[in-house]
Structure 1
């Protein structure tokens, strides 16, 4: 009778380890010390697994039940588990967990309530925030902020205006969320130096301000001393009439202002045909995405000035005079 518990102890330990492994497998192969305790695995048993190099420590409160390099999913789960039961991925990290591609981040960011005691670690940024709201967390999968909220926060925390605009644009292009939802989430931002930029980018995503964007383009031309272009010039191609956004007909320079939607597959063929038709008409055609007008205007306008000069426009600040003299003659 006295020997029965001792005989069952190895099997009981093995069962508890097996249960813990199943929990970890659902989390990319990692598990927190608190979860291990819930599975009945003691601290001494954890130390034994680590000493035998069957497991490896990831953070102070997280271990991996495998050895070798960890996957991206495992590192994200480890970040959340290290942050504690209220932690969740936020910003760009949440978007990547949601499935956003084409963007990488060296540090995984998790948000926790102000009272949390979790600490940052190498590769992990734990942020105590007053904006913590469990209602914005996805109800399933790895704990993470909803894509619309995550996109806004990622843009606010971005290292540059260009990156901020991209982090609003990419989730919409990859259909993780919609511009409408991002716009609603953006309304909660009352004060931030990027607030105006983010609102303008969302409007571009909604594709509801094309005429405003062309007006902005004309204003930039005036400010930089460029000639006044014609707008919505009508041209006739093989398949009918089409319009050019802005055009300096005297010098044969065309600028096509592309909305965010022009990056989508459904527009590629028609846009390419129109671009080629105008090029075959001996005009210089430049593309200016609205995103470029927001974050890289100087670079794009430098190309426009170069095109005008190459076509004989006597810049700077003399084109309007030259156009007036040509009209008078």
Structure 2
């Protein structure tokens, strides 16, 4: 992305689509407005800036401007970058429209892919007429509260973005992915998500989401870690390890699950943990643990998602050999790992 403002004070000269066009702007302010909006302007904004309808039409006919959507124009020629398309979608959606869902998640770094369509949300009390190419329009009663007060392009708050995405999905796995990704990337916290959740009387996946937020607040940060906590540790009655433990020494390391009492560490590594620098970092960490008399068990997605009962049996065996006197139990009727 190129130079897109993501924080700080509101840009004063911005003419919201909600504002009536009765204030005239000078040429310098118009240039600033176009700079913020990546060269995109609405018909309403152009008139508010002092241009007549005839002047607007002349620019369109001459090719100096081009129409993106009905009543929304690019004041330049050539291909439209993503930021320009995003501003065009917001301006076309009109009064109080904001970027939302995956679009807002992309803007705030919660995900790396903006998707094939641009998502915008408008207040539920109004209706956007006509179809907008490659734009999906959502409606929300709570938009006055959930929109971010300062960021440009206008968008929903990060916590609301995550909850919107969860409310829109039909897959339980995606609920885990959005929550863990937002927290893991330090864009929000489980506490802030729980507070935002408390303000929503209706939302899909509420029981699962409330349970997840408790897990995430305890330190489980990825879908892999959440799966291990629920389907391996809790489901089979294994002792609770200390999560995301910071161990300082010659080099600070983080332990995914640390059973300090039994001198056992559990490392849960996704794909990136096994390539190049990550592979050598893990080897150094495991070697240091072995020197200190600790055992390290390492699992990936295929282990935890594919055979959680087998993982539990292996951990129970090592824990028992190191002094745990508890008794694991089957996770359900079809679990044959434990008698």
TM-score computed with the length of structure 1 as normaliser: 0.64
Quote the offset at 1:46 in angstroms. 2.1
Q: Check conservation: 1:94, 1:145, Cα contact below 8 A.
A: yes
Partner of residue 47 from structure 1, selected from 46, 49, 57 = 57
- Counterparts of 1:113-124 in structure 2 under 5 Å? 113-119=123-129, 120-124=131-135
SS of corresponding position for 2:106: helix
> Counterpart in 1 of 2:152?
141
For residues 211 and 298 of structure 1, what CA distance do their matches in structure 2 show? 11
Which residues of structure 2 form unaligned runs of 5+? 1-24, 243-248, 250-254, 316-333
Matched, 1:285 2:297: yes
Q: Check conservation: 1:33, 1:63, Cα contact below 8 A.
A: yes
For residues 268 and 211 of structure 2, what CA distance do their matches in structure 1 show? 15
Whichever of the two has the greater Rg, that structure is 1
Partner of residue 83 from structure 2, selected from 62, 73, 94 = 73
For residues 137 and 98 of structure 1, what CA distance do their matches in structure 2 show? 11
**Aligned alpha-carbon RMSD (Å):** 4.5
For residues 305 and 79 of structure 1, what CA distance do their matches in structure 2 show? 50
> Counterpart in 1 of 2:199?
188
Quote the offset at 1:36 in angstroms. 0.8
Matched, 1:301 2:269: no
For residues 216 and 230 of structure 1, what CA distance do their matches in structure 2 show? 13
SS of corresponding position for 1:142: coil
Partner of residue 214 from structure 2, selected from 156, 180, 203 = 203
Quote the offset at 1:286 in angstroms. 3.3
- Counterparts of 1:22-61 in structure 2 under 5 Å? 22-61=32-71
For residues 59 and 27 of structure 2, what CA distance do their matches in structure 1 show? 10
Quote the offset at 1:41 in angstroms. 1.7
Q: Structure 1 63/194 Cα, relative in aligned 2: closer, same or farther at 3 Å? A: same
Q: Structure 1 270/232 Cα, relative in aligned 2: closer, same or farther at 3 Å? A: farther
Count of paired positions: 270
Quote the offset at 1:185 in angstroms. 0.4
Quote the offset at 1:231 in angstroms. 6.7
> Counterpart in 2 of 1:217?
232
Quote the offset at 1:40 in angstroms. 2.1
Quote the offset at 1:187 in angstroms. 1.5
Q: Check conservation: 2:39, 2:74, Cα contact below 8 A.
A: yes
TM-score computed with the length of structure 2 as normaliser: 0.63
SS of corresponding position for 1:170: helix
For residues 87 and 40 of structure 1, what CA distance do their matches in structure 2 show? 23
For residues 94 and 256 of structure 2, what CA distance do their matches in structure 1 show? 57
SS of corresponding position for 1:133: helix
Quote the offset at 1:287 in angstroms. 2.6
For residues 18 and 92 of structure 1, what CA distance do their matches in structure 2 show? 34
For residues 201 and 312 of structure 2, what CA distance do their matches in structure 1 show? 38
Which residues of structure 1 form unaligned runs of 5+? 1-14, 222-227, 234-238, 309-315, 322-329
Q: Structure 1 173/60 Cα, relative in aligned 2: closer, same or farther at 3 Å? A: same
Q: Check conservation: 2:286, 2:296, Cα contact below 8 A.
A: no
Q: Check conservation: 2:93, 2:128, Cα contact below 8 A.
A: yes
Quote the offset at 1:318 in angstroms. 6.0
Q: Check conservation: 1:286, 1:304, Cα contact below 8 A.
A: no
